[in-house]
Amino acid sequence: MSRLLGGTLERVCKAVLLLCLLHFLVAVILYFDVYAQHLAFFSRFSARGPARALHPAASSSSNCSRPNATAPSSGVPEVPSARPGPTVPMLPPCPDSPPGLVGRLLIEFTSPMPLERVQRENPGVLMGGRYAPPDCTPAQTVAVIIPFRHREHHLRYWLHYLHPILRRQRLRYGVYVINQHGEDTFNRAKLLNVGFLEALKEDATYDCFIFSDVDLVPMDDRNLYRCGDQPRHFAIAMDKFGFRLPYAGYFGGVSGLSKAQFLRINGFPNEYWGWGGEDDDIFNRISLTGMKISRPDIRIGRYRMIKHDRDKHNEPNPQRFTKIQNTKLTMKRDGIGSVRYQVLEVSRQPLFTNITVDIGRPPSWPPRG
């Protein structure tokens, strides 16, 4: 009897053990099957991109049958992709004393100077005559304004010499040639006023303005075309004057004013038609507003002038001396606030921006004598 009972218990225990093993096997099979399903589920969403994986409902409700269809909002802000975008490197400030300056330069105007050659020499200059150094951030944005008419030959030499100089000086700049339309008497100062306004229309960040005659080239690249705390006269020693100032109040040729300084003197006078007088009026305006003119050392402020025949439409203004004596009375009404002109054409060339303008006609002067 005891043997029969023992055999029965042994069979029961074996059956229970088999059932346990079977249950364990079933549990293992189910576990791996569920794991595989979860793995496939997440793999599909990761292939669709992170934004869709986070919001599958919004993704599936998009109407793709219409090209301009808009998916209904899910009420949850769209999560941008986690991929990092391209980072723009922060450039250091440009040095006050640029390391690539040469110093004294050999300036000559006898070699042929085709515009194609000047373009090849300045591959970094953008259309319209714009340039910015690739390795540093300049403190100022400089607009170089050139009053112009019938001086293409001079302009090619100016571009040939000045673009490399300005690039070595690590300037962010643009060159604007303000071309007077027609054959009436030339008005240098009014064209400079036009250049100031038109340059700001193109780029409101200009905060320094260099006003340069097209026939003057600096002989030393350490004469930095920048603006300072006071208006600056760059061309203090021209070859035609024996490399010295012709008189103490001379402010002609090449000068520079910040935007604030220019507005403080109400810009330049508009009523000086013909040659001479406007630079003396500008000198008076600066003095009357309490500012002083800064100048470079005479050893680096030398300029060479490209020789040319006098323009028959740029004869001396017979009333210039009377006007100069009345600057205090005229500067408030005659200046940047009263300039009138019409832009006829804006042409962005590879090395400069040409702006052709109609500035009107001069008043008739009484005969002399």
Exactly one of 279, 280, 281, 334 is catalytic; name it.
279
Exactly one of 158, 188, 213, 273 is catalytic; name it.
213
Exactly one of 104, 244, 308, 333 is catalytic; name it.
308
Exactly one of 3, 66, 120, 310 is catalytic; name it.
310
Q: For residue 229, indicate whether it is catalytic.
A: no
Q: For residue 152, indicate whether it is catalytic.
A: no
Q: Give CA separation, 19 vs 15, 22, 144, in Å.
A: 6, 5, 96
DSSP code of 93? B
Output the six-digit token pair for 282. Answer: 């500008």
Which residue type sits at 219?
Answer: M
Q: How far apart are the C-alpha atoms of 123 and 116, rounded to whole Å?
A: 11
Q: For residue 273, indicate whether it is catalytic.
A: no
Are the C-beta atoms of 362 and 187 separated by less than 8 Å?
yes
263 CB-contact burial (10 Å; exposed 0-12 / middle 13-18 / buried 19+) = middle
Exactly one of 158, 198, 215, 222 is catalytic; name it.
215
Q: What is the DSSP string of 207-239?
A: -EEEEE-TTEEESBTTS-----SS-EE---EEG
Q: For residue 233, indicate whether it is catalytic.
A: no
Exactly one of 221, 271, 278, 281 is catalytic; name it.
278
Q: For residue 305, indicate whether it is catalytic.
A: yes
Q: Give CA separation, 28 vs 23, 31, 41, 62, 191, in Å.
A: 9, 5, 20, 40, 91
Beta strands, E only, the chain: 130-131, 141-148, 172-180, 208-212, 216-218, 232-233, 237-238, 254-258, 302-305, 342-348, 353-358
Q: How far apart are the C-alpha atoms of 193 and 281, rounded to whole Å?
A: 14
Q: For residue 215, indicate whether it is catalytic.
A: yes
Q: For residue 279, indicate whether it is catalytic.
A: yes
Q: How far apart are the C-alpha atoms of 136 and 339, rounded to whole Å?
A: 37
**Intra-chain end-to-end CA distance of the chain, in Å:** 161
Exactly one of 207, 239, 295, 305 is catalytic; name it.
305
Q: Which residues are catalytic?
A: 213, 215, 275, 278-279, 305, 308, 310
